[in-house]
Amino acid sequence: MPEPAVPRDAATVLLLRDAAAGLEVYLLRRVKGMPFAGGMTAYPGGSVDPRDADADIGWIGPPAEVWADSFGCTQSLAGALVCAAVRETFEESGVLLAAAGDEEVVVAADADWEAERQALLRREQSLAELLTRRRLRLRADLLRPWAHWITPEDEPRRYDTRFFAAALPAGVSARDISGEADEAVWVTVAQALAQNEAGTRAMLAPTLYTLRDIAAYTRVADVLAAAPPGRLDTVQPRLEYDVDGEFVVMPDGSRMRPPIRLGRGR
């Protein structure tokens, strides 16, 4: 048998807000036909870019060694994962978790900021370069470590993904701007799970399970307070096969049959 593909490091963010109807999460539905998770509902996120590890960056919040303890990785990778989470959230929702002072988050919604976002998407600049030029510091204090998933070994494209939780900052709006999504929507966690159960919102296992994790909470503050304090458990499902095709077996023995393979990705 061939050796399993080496997983690519990735970061994804459960962007949350309080609403009258309950705890809401910002979800993207990836465009059908994409090589990774086409038609699936997901959170803002993606692979770590090598320049996410740039050391020269202003930083507010837990230092890299604290994140390294949570994710079970080197400090360099931990810093890159936090930067990737912030960069991907900005690229896919327009929300930039960065500030000029200790508290206020920049509102990155005008034409100049859109040009900055596009330059990030084209990899014409790194997040560190953007923040340094704008004299901003990354708000790591707004993020919480939430989960750690690794794609099954059978998959040709694999990801080692760290999940973060974050509150939508006051005065900031998420925008439907991701070119990889044909829908971007705020929806209550309960509604998202009900839609999945009804077959109208397809999800991969990590999205479904992390939504179930936060379904027990009614406020964003409760979710952030519940973030695991120590090293996250690593969840690595495996694939099995029967006459009906492929299904995913979770570490606890539970099963789900995905509509597509888990690891086909960019």
At 182-202, the pLDDT tens digits run 788 999 999 999 999 998 998
Distance CA 144, CA 13 (A): 9
Measuring CA to CA, which residue among 149, 156, 150 is closest to residue 4? 156
Q: What 3-state DSSP class applies to 98?
A: strand
235, HSE (Cβ side, Cα atoms, 13 Å): 19
H-only helix segments in 28-71 = 64-71
Measuring CA to CA, which residue among 177, 168, 82 is closest to residue 131? 82
Q: Are 8 and 158 in contact (CB under 8 A)?
A: yes
41, HSE (Cβ side, Cα atoms, 13 Å): 24
H-only helix segments in 146-257 = 189-198, 205-214, 220-225
In the predicted structure, residue 240 carries a pLDDT above the cut 50: yes
* DSSP assignment letter at 203: B
How does pLDDT run across 123-138, given as a tens digit for each residue? 999 999 999 999 999 9
pLDDT at 153: 80
Residue 133 is encoded by which pair of tokens?
């030029």
**Mean pLDDT of all residues belonging to the chain:** 88
Fold designation for 8-256? Nucleoside Triphosphate Pyrophosphohydrolase (3.90.79)
Measuring CA to CA, which residue among 1, 3, 7, 4 is closest to residue 234? 7
Residue 263 binned pLDDT confidence (cut-offs 50, 70, 90): very low
Q: Which pTM does this prediction carry?
A: 0.89
Percent of the chain as helix, strand, coil, to the nearest 5: 30, 30, 40
pLDDT at 3: 83
Please say whether the dihedral angle defined by the alpha carbons of residues 244, 248, 253 and 255, taken in this order, is positive or negative. Answer: negative
In the predicted structure, residue 257 carries a pLDDT above the cut 80: no
